[in-house]
Structure 1
Amino acid sequence: MSERYSIEMSQIVKQFGSVTANDYVDFQAKSGEIHALLGENGAGKSTMMCMLSGVYRPTSGEILIHGQRARIRSPKDAMKLGVGMVFQNFRLVQTLTAAENIVLGEKSAFWRGPKWMKAKQKEIEAISQRFGLSFPVDRPIWELSVGEQQRVEIVKTLYRGADLIILDEPTSVLTPGEVDQLFGTLGAMKAEGKTVILTTHKLKEVMSVSDRISVMRKGKMIGTMDREDTNERELARLMVGKDIVSNLSFKSGTKGKMVLSVQHLDVVAEQGRKALKNLSLQVYEGEIVGVAGVAGNGQKELAEVLTGLMAWKRGSIHFDGKDIKTASVRAAIEAGISHVPENRMKSGLAGSLGIVDNLLFKSYRSGERSKFGFLRTASNREWSQKLVQQFDVRTPNLDTPVQQLSGGNQQKLLFAREIQQNPKLMVAVHPTQGLDVGATEGVHKLLTELRDIGRSVLLISEDLDEIMQLSNRILVIYNGSIVLEVTRDEANRERIGMFMAGLNDAEEEAV
């Protein structure tokens, strides 16, 4: 073992029952470097980082931190050794202030009066300024933007003395401007000699910010290389084991008839919060309309209103020549609206059920799938097998619970069910979130195929690259309203990013 590494993971094996998630993996990272860890869903990279941060314990193998053997049995043990992890899903108490979240669990004072907290706030502010992580320390978490909440999580690890910081998909909820700020922070950490490990599927970001890159595939470490010695195409090939050749073609086409018209929509969400405010948009046949925005600006509510899951307070929805009067999931399905929800396992699929049941959810009433109220079991299995083959869903058999499938295969199964409904409009929310490069390419192909046969797609995504690659038109949603509409040819990444952050053209010029 070499002393030049701050972290060494040697011959790590992690088994969950009969499944081997990590198969004798070696991984090393240095002080003062940004190290990217890449891999497909199920490659084992997250499991490796969870063992390093104390969430899991290895079945066998050895972890050394600064040359000393480490016994990491819990996140508390990891933090004592200077290891902190910022998860993609933040672990913050919404009703507490940012400062209260950061000091939560600290035992440094017997009495915590106002003076103690004031002193802690000053200490936290000093750390945030040092690393370019500004946020209001005295405001509750629920009042902060997603980007500010992420900064709280990072400062929390720094405040607790972490010199090895793991960030799990850190840019998935940020605007382009916030991404640049985050990369500046990572550079400041690197300059102070800290080790930064970045797990991400965005190859452009890996190539722009990392010093070294490690690639995992099917539980094994494929290799580690310097950024200067590789490129995006090679990294994609290493991740999936073959060259990824994009067959996507953009077709501007001739705009067909209007399929969807939303006018002056107001939606009230939980606790009386106004989620959508005077929102208007149109979608035409044969186009993909991308909705770009930072999480929490009304995207979820827009998708749920259109698919019958949520009622609206004011405004009108006109779909395929008819006015939609009330929220009804069944009516939306019968009208020809398909839905790929934000969280496939929470809202899209029933994890404990098999392939056939999940495919039947929206069509079991049809004469092809049932007769006199009884399911046509044999023909339904045959139909399901054809869909599995058509959409290349990798599963041991049709009875395998879908929760046991990889994220990519779960998403393909979800698309199989929605597309076989022959929809007039597909509402796809973050359809590639958490997917590897190969599965992402497959989802993009399905969306463009729908467009090319004259169907309509409303693509709601926080991935601006995805929006700009696929969309005929781009809408930016901010604070529940559409604040910008541009065609693909007019799209400018920086301008879209400014509107996503709430700055309009006049404010942008003032800046």
Structure 2
Amino acid sequence: MGQQPIVAELKGITKRFPGIVANDTISLQLRKGEIHALLGENGAGKSTLMNILFGLYQPDEGHIEINGQPVVIDGAGKAIELRIGMVHQHFKLVKPFTVAENIILGNEPTKGIKVDIKSANDRVRQLSDQYGLKVDPRVRIEDITVGMQQRVEILKTLYRGADILIFDEPTAVLTVQEIEELIEILRALAREGKSIILITHKLKEIMAIADTCTVIRRGKVVGSVAVKDSSERQLAEMMVGRSVNFQVSKEKSKPGKAILEVSGLTVQGEHGKAVVDDVSFQIRAGEIYGIAGVDGNGQTQLVEAITGMRKASGGSVRVHGQELLGSSVRQVTEAGVSHIPEDRHKHGLVLDFTVSENMVLNNYYRAPYTRSGILNYKAMDDNATKLAAEFDVRMSSIHTEARSLSGGNQQKAIIARELKRDPELIIAVQPTRGLDVGAIEFVHKQLIEARNAGKAVLLVSFELEELYGLSDRLAVIYEGRIMGQMDADEKNEEQIGLMMAGNALGGAPSDPALRQGES
């Protein structure tokens, strides 16, 4: 790899925003055919640096060389001209359009005065086959999975002739199988001579695919290492500046009385099919109850029904014996329920509000934040300053809009707000999605401390290691039904895998037609 020529070099790049130095004299080299991981904590400056390479920001100091020539990249158009492409974390696709229509948008081939959609379809299909992307150019974006939409974004960069591809947190929204497929795609791109920069904080993925890893901490380069000569632990320590405990340390739970009692809960989906099907379980004070399952098996609807965000068609949800089914979100909150939602943008934050305002979204109408119907901004600011310090939420100011925070810092802001309300029940859905190892360690510790303080915790996660590490009891959901539950320390991975595939605990399949008259 060392013999390959340098295709891109960033030299002494500095970028300042009000109150913060996002990039501090950063230098980085990318070689032909290399997969180069850019690793750092949430808010370390990774995305800012790559937005500079793609022309979305201009550096205050330093310069960029492409194939040994100094260049000024003053916009995305210039980056594309220099054969640089970027696959953003949040895709930029027009949903009613087809795959091919999205790919050629702004760069349409014509036949006379008409767009030549046939030649576009043929070119997209040829690129898809060449790189093993398996994308049908004629399907609409709204009809394909998130993983397939990401492949469309990759095809868009290839269609425009990119030789340097930047991927910003590409696995954040993918299933386990889609992640494995993406890794194969990246390897195929590198074999074809494409050079790839991978922004991530997932150490396993770096070890699996990257050739080189550059670590950034608080805007500065800590070092670059050959991945084959490194380890997950070494990279983690470089990233956070201290040793990281990968194991969750917790004592055996001492559960008390039932806090949450869910009985016969049923939620109808489209076409009258139950997406939550007669679900019953209870969570006691001082325990973490984990729910495992492949994404899309009713987890979202189950949580939304419990938290008042979705209407249930039957059953009961009680907190401390109080029936909450049919209650509003505020009534559920008032009953002592905190919710760390699956989608932080849609349900966790108001992105155009400041961090200070977001920190009181669920109790702004109470003292000390409201006096005689008037908001007390000083009390709100004091609260935000305290929570940001305690939960290490990094930003230029508490008056910064939430949308300008990195994804991980947005998540930490939500967790700070929800855990500091002193709830009886904490519902945490994918609480560490998009967080670096240091932040994950911190969130895990907070959930364990809440459990030790007698709180009940419902943890929904697609990360089995997280569920094993945190849960006291573990259930598996499949097509809206609970397949069975076990004590987490039993850790029977084979049994859990069978349940996730639809076999109830004890081996009975989930489909009533297959259960031969079982009641």
- TM-score, normalization: structure 2? 0.82
What residue identity is the alignment partner of 1:452?
A: N
Q: Pick closer, same or farther for the CA change 1:386–1:57 going to 2, 3 Å.
A: closer
Conserved in 1, the CA contact under 8 Å of 2:264 and 2:280?
yes
- Name the residue aligned to 1:151: 151
CA–CA separation in structure 2 for the residues paired with 1:327 and 1:9: 55
Shift of 1:289: 3.3
Alignment RMSD: 3.8
Letter of the 1:29 counterpart? L
Question: Which residue matches 2:59?
Answer: 58
Matched position secondary structure for 1:243:
coil
Following superposition of structure 1 onto structure 2, how do residues 433-448 of structure 1 map, counting pairs within 5 Å? 433-448=433-448
The separation in 1 between residues aligned to 2:274 and 2:157, in whole angstroms, is 32
- Between Structure 1 and Structure 2, how many residues are aligned? 500
> What is the CA deviation profile of residues 228-272 of structure 1, one whole-angstrom value per residue up to 9, with x for unaligned ones?
222112211211222223573245536655423153422558xx8
Change (3 A) 1:393 1:37: closer
**Matched residue of 2:304: which SS?**
helix
Q: Which amino acid aligns with 1:49?
A: M
**1:116-142 deviation line (CA, Å, top 9, x unaligned):** 434432332232233222233322111
**Residues of 2 paired with 1:211 and 1:226: CA distance?**
6
Equivalent-residue separation in structure 1 for 2:111 and 2:272 (angstroms)? 39
Given the alignment of the two structures, is residue 238 of structure 1 paired with residue 238 of structure 2, yes or no? yes
Partner of residue 215, structure 2: 215
What's the offset of the Cα at 1:424? 2.2
Change (3 A) 1:414 1:498: same
Q: Distance in 2 between matches of 1:275 and 1:156?
A: 38
Give SS of 1:447's match.
helix
CA apart distance, 1:415: 3.1
Contact conserved, 2:39 with 2:215, CA < 8 A, in 1? yes
What is the CA–CA distance in structure 2 between the aligned matches of 1:17 and 1:381, rounded to whole Å?
18
**Does the C-alpha gap of structure 1 residues 402 and 426 become closer, same or farther in structure 2, counting only changes over 3 Å?**
farther
* SS class of match (1:305): helix
- Structure 2: any 5+ residue segments left out of the alignment? 511-519
What residue identity is the alignment partner of 1:8?
Answer: E
Aligned to 2:303: 303
Q: 1:239/1:375 Cα in 2 relative to 1: closer, same or farther (>3 Å)? A: same
Which string of whole-angstrom CA distances, capped at 9 and with x for unpartnered residues, describes residues 396-448 of structure 1?
88x64574776656544433432233222211233223333222211111111
Conserved 8 A contact 1:267-1:313: yes
Q: CA deviation at 1:77?
A: 1.8
For the structure 1 residues 289 and 17, does the alpha-carbon distance in structure 2 shift closer, same or farther, using more than 3 Å as the test?
A: same
What is the CA-CA distance between 1:353 and the residue it aligns to?
Answer: 4.2
| Shift of residue 89, structure 1, vs aligned partner | 1.0
Q: Which residue is equivalent to 2:38?
A: 37
Quote the Cα distance in structure 1 between the aligned partners of 2:273 and 2:230.
48
- Contact 2:276 / 2:301 at 8 angstroms: preserved in 1? no
Q: Which residue of 1 aligns with 2:166?
A: 166
Which runs of 5 or more structure 1 residues have no equivalent in the other structure? none
Q: Tell me if the contact between 1:127 and 1:155 (Cα under 8 Å) persists in the aligned partners.
A: yes
CA distance in 1, matches of 2:199, 2:499: 26
Structure 1 residues 451 and 195, CA, compared in 2 at 3 Å: closer, same or farther? same
1:211 deviates by: 0.6
Structure 1 residues 440 and 336: alpha-carbon distance in aligned structure 2, compared to 1, 3 A threshold: same
Aligned 1:135-214 pairs, distance under 5 A: 135-214=135-214
One-letter code of the match for 2:97?
L
Counterpart residue identity of residue 145, structure 1: T
Q: Does 2:229 correspond to 1:225?
A: no
User: Is the aligned partner of 1:282 residue 2:281?
Assistant: yes
Which residue is equivalent to 1:418? Answer: 418
Q: Deviation of residue 347 (structure 1)?
A: 3.9
For the pair 1:340 / 2:344, whether they are aligned, the reply is no
SS at 1:13 equivalent: strand
Residue 105 of structure 2 corresponds to 104
| Alpha-carbon spacing, 1:327–1:96, altered in 2? closer, same or farther (3 Å) | farther
Q: 1:35 to 1:322 in 2, by over 3 A?
A: same
In 2: Cα distance, 1:343 partner to 1:180 partner: 23
Would you say the 8 A contact 2:295–2:462 is kept in 1?
yes
For 1:14, the equivalent position in structure 2 comes to 15
For residue 161 of structure 2, give the secondary structure of its aligned residue in structure 1: coil
1:159 maps to a residue whose letter is Y
Partner SS state of residue 253, structure 1: coil
- Separation (CA, whole Å) in 2 of partners of 1:167 and 1:245: 28
Residue 456 of structure 2 aligns to which amino acid in structure 1? S
CA deviations 1:344-380 (Å, max 9, x no partner) are 466435564464x555444456678777767899988
Give the Cα–Cα distance (whole angstroms) in 1 for the partners of residues 365 and 383 of structure 2.
Answer: 15
Tell me the CA shift for residue 332 of structure 1: 0.5
Partner of 2:266: 265
Instruction: Determine the structure 2 residue equivalent to 1:248.
Output: 248
**Number of the residue aligned with 1:5:** 6
C-alpha distance in structure 2 between counterparts of 1:83 and 1:407, whole Å? 24
Secondary structure of 1:9 counterpart: strand
Counterpart amino acid of 1:276? V
CA deviations 1:281-322 (Å, max 9, x no partner) are 524123333345666665444433322233334544333323
1:478 to partner: Cα distance = 6.3
Q: Report sequence identity in percent.
A: 41
Secondary structure (helix, strand or coil) at the match of 1:88 reads coil
Aligned to 1:87: 88
